[in-house]
């Protein structure tokens, strides 16, 4: 697989995934991803992206619950 940005070689490895929202900051480690060997650009596959989105949906409702006064 080629990098979309620099045309470098993408390598299947694991990477961190950061989400910064107003109410929370999520930092995931060891997420399978393709990382460019030249510019370090990350590319996550659909399976991982979907899993992360599912996680966020749960997290958002839990955070709202927690913040309820």
Q: Could you say which of 34, 41, 42, 48 contacts Zn ion (CB under 5 A)?
A: 41
Q: Which is nearer to Zn ion, 26 or 39 (CB)?
A: 39
Q: How far is the CB of 24 from Zn ion (least distance, A)?
A: 30
Q: Which residues 1-30 are close enough to bind Zn ion by CB under 5 A?
A: 3, 5-6, 8
CA 52 remoteness from chain centre: 7
What residues have CB less than 8 Å from 35, skipping those under 6 apart?
10, 11, 13, 15, 41, 42, 43
Q: How many residues of this chain bind Zn ion (CB under 5 A)?
A: 8
Closest-CA residue to 44 (of 16, 8, 9, 19): 16
User: Which residues are near Zn ion by CB under 5 A?
Assistant: 3, 5-6, 8, 36, 38-39, 41
């Amino acid at each position: 697989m080629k990098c979309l940005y620099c045309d470098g070689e993408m390598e299947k490895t694991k990477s961190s995934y950061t989400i910064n929202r107003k109410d929370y900051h999520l930092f995931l480690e060891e997420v399978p991803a393709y990382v460019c060997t030249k510019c370090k650009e990350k590319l996550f596959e659909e399976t991982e992206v979907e899993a992360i989105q599912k996680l966020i949906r749960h997290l958002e409702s839990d955070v709202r619950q927690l913040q309820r006064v």
